[in-house]
Chains A and B, each alone.
Chain A
Amino acid sequence: MIPARPARRSLTRWFCLAVSGLTALAFAGMVALFAFESLPVWRHAGFEYLRGHQWFFRAQRFGALPMVYGTLAVSALALLLAAPVGLGSAVFVAEILPARLRLPAKTAIELLAGIPSVVYGLLGVLLLRGWMLRVLAPFEPLSGDTLATGGVLLAVMILPTVVTLGDDALRGVARSQRQAARALGLTRAETIVRVSLPQALPGLVAALLLALGRALGETIAVFLVIGRQDNQWPEHLLSPASLAAAGQTLTTKLGGSETHIAYGDPLHWAAMVALALVLAILVASVTLAGTWLGRPRLAGAASANLPSPAGGDPGDPHA
């Protein structure tokens, strides 16, 4: 990049290499540790670990499917609720809001991402739980701690991701395209629906995928409102009634006291670490898919959770 005289021995270069290597080592070590320490349970249960419905650690039966289901159900509901509001807000911020109001509006939305998940959890415990109990009354839930409660809470938490990345995708559509559409006599709504949205589509889908990645991995807030009921396997998957029951996700299982219990027993510990491995693979695939799809337009959010990709975009007409 820099047309400079090369240096043989540079302290700066040595330092950069050293810390980069250390960081790579730490993250690779994390993945390797999850893979390695979960080996006993793969040997013990094999594929049954991913297919089994029952988790009774005293009987050494480890079936992770209910937790995978819980994670997917809660995240799907969150995405279903956050997508229309989030994409609508993205259109509002990118296409309708006057330029001088953009900065305050984007700040307010990103601040939503800054609220700690334990605060969301507290709001869930003291407010949302009682409210959900009334809303879900037709399905006769045993308490306000349900998968649906977790999904609603998560929807608020991932909303800023959808809005910020969606806004970026929409702003990536060339201004001239909009002007041409308006000049042809299309109304603002028609311009957005016929021109902006189709062109920004990959970026919008990427925004949803990255929001999904966040939902899959969220722990503390969901932990406090989901009831943490093991071995929940509904008769009808994703039916409203099944969402009105308590459940368990990969993260809430990992965050619970069973992690401490498992600590001393290699097989039980392996079963817990395997949950971490499954979660890591799930989140990494969704993040990779979202990043790939959003490239190169996905200019990224300013939020702490989703900072911008650092790569400059040579193809960006606005750059």
Chain B
Amino acid sequence: MRRLFDRAFTLLVVSAGLLALMLFVAIAGYLAWRGLGAVDLDFLTQPSRGAGAEGGVRYQLLGTLILIATALAAAVPPALGIGIYRGVYLTRPQARRRVSLLLFVANGVPSILYGIFGLAVFGQLLGWGKSWLAGGLLLGMMILPTLTLAFAERVDAIPKKYLEAAAGLGLRRAQIVRAVILPQSLGGLVSGALLGLARAAGETAPILFIAAVFSGATVPHGIVESPVLALPYHIFVLAQDSFQPEAETHLWAAAAVLLGVVLVFALVALPLRIRLHEEAHHG
């Protein structure tokens, strides 16, 4: 009886685990099978034609790169600042925990709320119309908690003796930050940034109202009324149409390219991040 229970339990748990593990392989494999056949250099470098469902994704790809570069530029300085302030200048553990809690809640904010917030601020208040900068800033705000938490976790993991040694040498706090804390914790910031980029590249909701258009934009000039095309938005719009078979191929190809962009960032970041995390928490 006990052996039977042991067997049955193990079998159940193993099948649940294998199912979860298979899901990613299945989804990525299916996308590659349906989409990769149509992805070549032309697809990546030609602008789209027709109703948007033919040709390549040149400007969608460019727009997405512009958006995520802006998001990164907007998110890194505050992530550094908050992480250092929390780890160095906040001396009470309670205060630090409170900052972490706030970052958690901020990290859980649904992405559509950034879209609505952006429409109110950049649209109504500033009158920017649709602008790549608005989209980049919103995406930056969205990934900021991810970056900050990843960075702060590494700051917390710096061995105390390093800090004591630096203090013993008579360094001031700001000097310790530059000489010890930053070099020791940049790995956390980098892995957090890569995960943030992966997330920003795939998000549609924040750029829905305020940054992305389906067609008619190339390279943005200026800020006001200068939208971009973007890969996720492109797929989002096409997926809502009832389309012809050729469009379906285009759609799968675009999705395969988007997943490729995301995976490039995620595959570099995840093993590093998981290892650092396990070292920090489960030694």
- Chain A contacts to B: CB under 8 angstroms: 1-7, 10-13, 15-20, 22-23, 26-27, 29-30, 33-34, 37, 84-89, 91-93, 95-97, 102-103, 105-112, 114-119, 121-123, 125-126, 156, 159-160, 163, 168, 171-172, 187-190, 192-193, 210, 213-214, 216-220, 224, 251, 254-255, 259-260, 263, 272-273, 276, 279-280, 283-284, 286-288, 291, 299-300, 302-314, 316, 318-319
Contacts and interface: CB of A to CB of B under 8 A. Distances in A.
A277 to B, nearest CB: 9
11 contacts: A2-B166, A2-B167, A13-B174, A17-B85, A89-B16, A103-B271, A122-B252, A220-B236, A304-B199, A306-B107, A310-B148
B229 to A, nearest CB: 14
Contacts of B88: 1-2, 16
Name the prevailing secondary structure of the A interface residues: helix
B24 A111 contact: yes
B17 A2 contact: no
* Residue from A22, A105, A106, A263 with most neighbouring chain B CB atoms (10 Å): A106
Given A27-B109, A107-B267, 6 more contacts: A1-B88, A26-B141, A122-B251, A254-B115, A280-B110, A308-B280
A116 B20 contact: no
A109 B208 contact: no
A168 B277 CA distance: 10
B176 A318 contact: no
B121 to A, nearest CB: 7
B149 A33 contact: no
A107 B271 contact: yes
Contact of B6 (A11, A188, A263, A306): A188
Contact of A88 (B13, B96, B104, B176): B13
Contacts of B117: 30, 33-34, 276
* Residue from B78, B112, B195 with most neighbouring chain A CB atoms (10 Å): B112
B195 A303 contact: yes
Interface stretch (B36-44, B65-73, B155-163, B213-221): B155-163
B70 to A, nearest CB: 15
A37 B119 CA distance: 12
A216 B18 CA distance: 26
A219 B112 contact: yes
A205 B123 CA distance: 40
